[in-house]
Structure 1
Amino acid sequence: MGDPNHLSLPSRKIVLAGATGFIGEALRERYRQNGYETLMISRRPGHISWNDKAAITEALNGADLLVNLAGRSVNCRYNEQNRREIMESRTTTTKTLGDAIADCPHPPKLWINSGTATIYRDARDRPMTEEQGELGSGFSVEVAKAWEETFFAAHTPFTRKAVLRIAIALGRGGGVMTPYFNLIRFGLGGKQGPGSQRFSWVHIDDLCRMVEFLEKRTDLSGVFNASAPEQVTNAEQMRTMREAYGRRFGLPAPSWMLKTGAVVIRTETELILKSRWVAPERLLREGFEFRYPRLREAMAEIAR
């Protein structure tokens, strides 16, 4: 007869935190199809609440994988209240997860925390890699730094940890493709600002495969740039997107127009004008193979 106190654990379980958006839904569906039990922590009804510490600990106990994507959208004006909410939505949730893992009898095998490629400086001279990249300055960078510092400060000695510094995720049915498609559809898909700023991106399929890759490679931990190996200029980006949808011409949007429009729609021009030139050096070195290494191939799949 077995030990009555023995805890029976699910064979495969993934916990997704703050993963109700474009990336989270893609991960949830992928792991569900792979036979994982998927549990969600979020502020939405029907999910495990961020306020229920006991339920979070129970969900994480025995999990194969935790992926944390929690964080208020940065698509807003950076006033005092929004700045506070953007910062706290990342650091507080990450600390909550770290505390819960510390209370688990059987902590998760791997914890992947979302980060952002915005952590690097405005790069126009060379790509930023994990080892050689220079961190930038300003509010967005401070948020990114605090997010990672909170993650690595969590005392989880029995849980392997990795950060994915995610570039702009592209894919069908959501994310940034909706506003880009609308611009192109109405003839406004020209270069934005100078057009020389770099556009680092990753196809949603490759991003999900990165998570699977890190789960299988138990020897890997630390920081990884989640970006495709091809980093195009904004002008090249918009031309490639237009071509994918069969549009030859798109009106450009000069910087002054973007700044004026950003105030009207209550967002920041940094999201468009900052040059993000990020290279996935570690993933390539460790043997990760991109399904969509070039924007033209990615856009052909998305537009189809």
Structure 2
Amino acid sequence: MKKKVVLAGGTGFIGQYLNDRFAEAGYDVKVISRGSKIHSWDRFDSIVEAIEGSDMLINLAGKSVNCRYNEKNKAEIFSSRTDTTEMLGKAILQCANPPSLWINSSTATIYRHAEDRAMTEENGEIGSGFSVDVAKAWEKSFFSFDLPNTRQAALRIAIVLGDGGVMTPYRNLAKFGLGGVQGSGRQMFSWIHVEDVYRIIQFIRENEHLRGVFNTAAPKPISNQEFMSEVRKAMNIKFGLPSPKWMLEMGAVFIRTETELVLKSRWVIPERLEREGFTFKYPDMKSALGEILRKEVQRG
């Protein structure tokens, strides 16, 4: 009988990738999503049914933060994370055969803006502001459940790179000659290849003593200046105009997003994973972009 994995909020860029990889690995994949006719957020009994007897539950649910932080969007960003997490915890409590592992998304944005040193799980300093408040409430909802038969791990995920997702706008900026530094360019860019997200989930599943919080980021973060330079090199583009802070702020209003997504310095190191012996398939930006952008370069 196939092992069952449940992807909650599994319709976005990361969810679709994980869906494909788990299906390739022989899992029976169930997806909980708002638009699902089988397992939908508005039918609690269908959520219990999806989770019952599963090997693993992975929660990726949450409204995209790529929007303006007005009061309506802020409320939706907040509730879409905490409400779904609490619903899943209550559903696990209803299961006769609960999953042995529950992995919940969190975010590397929980740490403060850091240009002075890297943040680890042990010595990282929690930041302040709306995004940090969301991250803290998200983890609090997750760890509020006492589940004797289900291990819990929260992944503080850095910016995820792959064929799609955030790489699309960066690729377009470079293509149209705007792939220079953004803001000062000194802000650190912590990132992870989407394949390593999948491999980390499998690593935590296989190592049954692992629980708690994990920084889910590649071991070699780089500055924004270095990142944009690597993108241009991978795409064989010689030059990119810089985007000063004032220009980014004007542009963010125009495309209905927030400059925090680009200007916050996220300097995060995966100390726990490396200490436990996890090895990254894509530890540095050159190898990651080489894999992600090779098809585009080949297409010319």
- How high is the TM-score relative to the length of structure 2? 0.97
The partner residue of 1:62 within 39, 53, 57 is 53
Paired position in structure 1 for 2:216: 226
Aligned partner of 1:277 in structure 2 is 267
Q: Distance in 1 between matches of 2:100 and 2:277?
A: 22
SS at match of 1:90: helix
Query: Which residue matches 1:217?
Result: 207
Choose the corresponding residue for 1:51, options 42, 46, 60: 42
Residue 202 in structure 1 maps to residue 192 in structure 2: yes
Matches within 5 A, 1:276-295: 276-295=266-285
Q: 1:164 Cα deviation (Å)?
A: 0.5
Find the partner of 1:168 among 159, 163, 168: 159
1:222 and 1:254 map into 2 onto residues whose CA distance is 39
Look up the equivalent residue of 1:219 and give its one-letter code. H
2:232 maps to: 242
Report the count of equivalent residues.
294
Q: TM-score, normalised by structure 1?
A: 0.95
Superposition RMSD in Å: 0.8
Q: Which amino acid aligns with 1:19?
A: G
Query: Structure 1 residue 96 and structure 2 residue 80: aligned?
Result: no
SS at match of 1:67: strand
Give the structure 1 partner of residue 246 of structure 2. 256
SS across alignment from 1:16: strand
Contact 1:116 1:167 in 2 (8 A): yes
SS of 1:301's equivalent in the other structure is: helix
Large movers: runs of 4+ above 3 Å? none
Q: Which amino acid aligns with 1:157?
A: P
Partner of 1:75: 66
Deviations 1:207-241 (A, max 9, x none): 11001111111110000000000010000000001
Q: Which structure 2 residue ranges, 5 or more long, are not aligned?
A: 295-300
Q: Secondary structure at the match of 2:165?
A: coil
Is it true that 1:37 corresponds to 2:28 in the alignment?
yes
1:47 to partner: Cα distance = 4.4
**Which amino acid is the alignment partner of residue 279 of structure 2?**
E
Show structure 1 runs of 5+ residues with no match: 1-9
Counting aligned pairs with the same residue, the percent is 59
